[in-house]
Structure 1
C-alpha cells in the first residue's frame, strides 16, 4: 500500500516537473536580433499612422479625457483590470528608450523591453501576425508623437491571475508566435483582408468565443459570442450578405440592417471609418468567404400563453414609445435605423437589444453620417418586465424566427 502511494506521488511529481519544463520551454526568450536604428521618413510615419488606426490603438491607449496614446485606460476583464501603457516616446514612462526591435518583440512575442511577459489584454495573440515592415512603420509613427510622461497604474488582477507563473501557463496553453501566410489559391485582395482581420484588426478579440481562461476557441473563430464584463454580444462574421453590407457599416457606422452601437461604434469612430475603400472591400472579401452564420432558431416557449401576453404588452408599449421613430411597420420611416430585418433582433442573444432599450446609445460620428440619430434610454421609464415585453414583441415580429425575451434575461444583462 505504501509502495503504491509512493509510486503515485513520484509519478505526480514527475508530471509536475515535466509540465513546468514544458511551460518554461514554451515561454523561452526569443533570440534577439542586433538592434538597428530605424530610418524614419515622412512616408513611413504616414503609413504608421494609418496602421495605428487600422489597429485602433488609440481606443485602449488613451484614457477618457487624456492625451492621445498616453495610456492609463483601465480595461476590465473577468480576471481584474489591466491598464494600457504609454505609447508616446516619453523617456521614463513611454517608448522613449525602446528600439524598433523591442517594439517588434512586443507585437510578435508578447514581451516587454525588459523581457517580461505582457498581459494578453494587449492582443499580441493577433498582432503576432503583423509583418515586420508594418511593425517598423507603426513604431516610426509612435516615435513621432509628442513625448508625454504619464505613469501607468499597476494592474489590478486577482490572485492567481496576478502571478507571473499563471501568465506563463496561459501563454503555454494559448499562444504561439506566428506570421501571416498568404493563401496562394486566393487573390491579393482576399489575402489583404485576411491579414487585416486576423492581425491588426484583431477581430477575434471580440467576435470569437472564449474559454474559462480567456483563450479564444480556434475551432469557432469569429463565431460570435457574449463579450465578458461588458455583456455586449459580438455577432458571428461571415457569409455573402455580411460581405455586401460590411464596407458601408465600417465606413459610416450604418447599414441597411441597423447601426453600430456599443463597442463596435467605438471601433468605427476611431478606426474603420479611416480605412481605404480597397482595405474595406478586402476585409469584406475575406469575411464573405467564411461560413454563413447559422440561422437563429427560437427556443420553444414552455409557457406560450405567458409569451403571448408579454408580446401583446410589448406591442402596446412599442406603439407608445417606439413607433414615433421606428414606425409602426419597423421601417424607420426613412430616417431612423429600421427594425424590420435588423440584425440585432435576430441574434442568438437578446443582450444588445436589451442594452439598447435600457441604456440607449449613439452611433459613431463619421464623414458619411456626421450627426447620427441617438437612441434615448428607456431604463428609467420601463421596468424589467416591460423591457422584456418590448424586446419580445420586436423579436417575434421582425427577428426572423428569434424567440421572445424573459424578464430574467433582462435582469441578467449588465
Structure 2
C-alpha cells in the first residue's frame, strides 16, 4: 500500500522536473532576444551599401549553399547532407511569397544573430548562425540590402528530409539550449586592429570553425580547442587542424605565403583541394588584400596545439611491396621515385602534411577522386591529379597510401582496407 501511495508523488515530481526543464530550454532559446517592433525599411540602398553587402556575401560564401547547381543565384534548393538527413538551403532572394522579400532588416538580423526565421521557427545550424551570430548589425544590414537588390525568384523552399526526432522543433530547441548561445564579436584590446579584423572574419562571416573543428555525436562543434580540425560530415574530407603545424597550421609561414594561398589557392608551401579549393574559388579570392592579410595575421597566431601522435601501426611487408609497385606504376612519373616531386605542379610526398598527418582521409580521397586547386587569376590553369578510383582496387589504394606514409622518412600509420572503404 505504501508503494502505491508513493507513485503519485513520483509522477508529480517528474512532471514538475519536466516543466522546469522545458521552461529552462524555452528561456535558453530566447535569451538575448529583444521583441521585434515595427520598423521602417533601410530606405533606398546606396551604391556603397550594395557594394559592401556584395562583398560580405562573398566573404560569407552565401551563394555556395543558397544556389543550387544550375539554379538561380540565392534561390535555394541545394541539399546539404548531414548525419541526421538532408537540410535544404532556403530561398533568400527578395521574392515576397517564397523568399525574404517581406522580411525586415531586424528579422534578417535575428536569423543571423539568433538563428530564428521570420515566423519564429528555429533554424537548423546547417545555416551557420553559430558563427554568424558574431556578425555586427551594420554588416547584417548591408548584407540584407544586397540580397534585397537581387532579382526576385519565385521558388518554394523544399522541406528538410530529416529523421525523427531531428525533424522536430522541440529537439532542435534542446540542441540549441545545450550548444548555442548568441554572441557578439568582442575585439581583444591587447591585439592590434589587423589581428582583430582577422578574428572577426575567421570567427564570423568566414565561419572557418564550421569545418575546421571536431563535432560530437549531435553535430555540435567542439569550441574547446579552436580550429583543431575535424572530418566534414558526409563529405569524407578532413578539414585539418589550423592549430597544428603538423596538419594545416601556418604559424611558421610568412604572411605573404598565407595570403597567396587564400588568394590563389596555391603557394610554395602547398595547395588547396576539395572543399577548401571551393572556398577559395567562390569566396576568399575576392577578398581585399587588407582583409586577407588580417586573416593571415590571425591564423598565424592561432595558439599551437599538437595532438598526440598516433601509434605508427605498420603495414605487413607484402602490403608495402604491393604499394611500392603501385607507386612505381602510377605515381613515380610525377611525384618522383623518392617522393621528391617536381616543383609546384607535382608536390613532393616526402614530408607532405597531407600524407603524414594522423587522418588519412584526404590522401585516400585524392587517390580515389583526384583533386585540383581552384582556378584563379593567379593560377588560371592549375595542375591537378587524375582520379585512380576506377583503376585501383581498395586493396591497392590502401597499399599505396600505406607505402607513401612510411617511405622516404615519413612515419605515419598504415591505411587499412576499411579506411579506404569509408572514403569510397
Give the TM-score of the pair, scaled to structure 2: 0.92
- C-alpha spacing 1:165/1:295, structure 2 compared with 1 (3 Å): closer
Q: Distance in 2 between matches of 1:45 and 1:399?
A: 53
Equivalent residue of 1:313, what SS? helix
Equivalent residue of 2:403, what SS? helix
Match of 1:252 in 2: 264
Deviations 1:354-381 (A, max 9, x none): 0100111222111111111221111111
Match of 1:289 in 2: 301
Match of 1:336 in 2: 346
Match of 2:325 in 1: 316
Question: Runs of 5+ in structure 2 lacking a partner?
Answer: 244-248
- C-alpha spacing 1:399/1:42, structure 2 compared with 1 (3 Å): farther
Match of 1:381 in 2: 391
1:114 aligns with 2:119: yes
Contact 1:193/1:282 (8 A) holds in 2: yes
**Aligned pairs for 1:188-267 within 5 A:** 188-238=193-243, 239=249, 240-241=251-252, 244=255, 245-267=257-279
Deviations 1:123-163 (A, max 9, x none): 11110100011111111111111112112211111111111
Match of 1:299 in 2: 311
Match of 1:37 in 2: 41
Question: Runs of 5+ in structure 1 lacking a partner?
Answer: none
Q: Distance in 2 between matches of 1:114 and 1:134?
A: 22
Q: Distance in 2 between matches of 1:243 and 1:409?
A: 34
Equivalent residue of 1:269, what SS? helix
Q: Distance in 1 between matches of 2:409 and 2:359?
A: 11
1:274 aligns with 2:286: yes
- C-alpha spacing 1:30/1:161, structure 2 compared with 1 (3 Å): farther
Match of 1:11 in 2: 13
Q: Distance in 2 between matches of 1:255 and 1:13?
A: 61
1:184 aligns with 2:189: yes
Q: Per residue, is there more helix in 1 or in 2?
A: 1
Equivalent residue of 1:333, what SS? coil
Equivalent residue of 2:235, what SS? coil
Contact 2:404/2:410 (8 A) holds in 1: no
Contact 2:195/2:297 (8 A) holds in 1: yes
**Aligned pairs for 1:52-71 within 5 A:** 52-71=57-76
Equivalent residue of 1:362, what SS? coil
Deviations 1:306-352 (A, max 9, x none): 43332222122112101222222333312323323322112221011
Match of 1:412 in 2: 422
Give the TM-score of the pair, scaled to structure 1: 0.94
**Aligned pairs for 1:118-157 within 5 A:** 118-157=123-162
Equivalent residue of 1:397, what SS? coil
Contact 2:312/2:412 (8 A) holds in 1: no
CA RMSD of aligned residues (A): 1.8
Farther-moved stretch of structure 1 (67-76 vs 324-333): 324-333
Q: Distance in 2 between matches of 1:161 and 1:318?
A: 45
Farther-moved stretch of structure 1 (47-56 vs 342-351): 342-351
Q: Report deviation, 1:5.
A: 4.4
Matched length: 411
Deviations 1:215-268 (A, max 9, x none): 111213211111111111111113512665432221111233432121111111
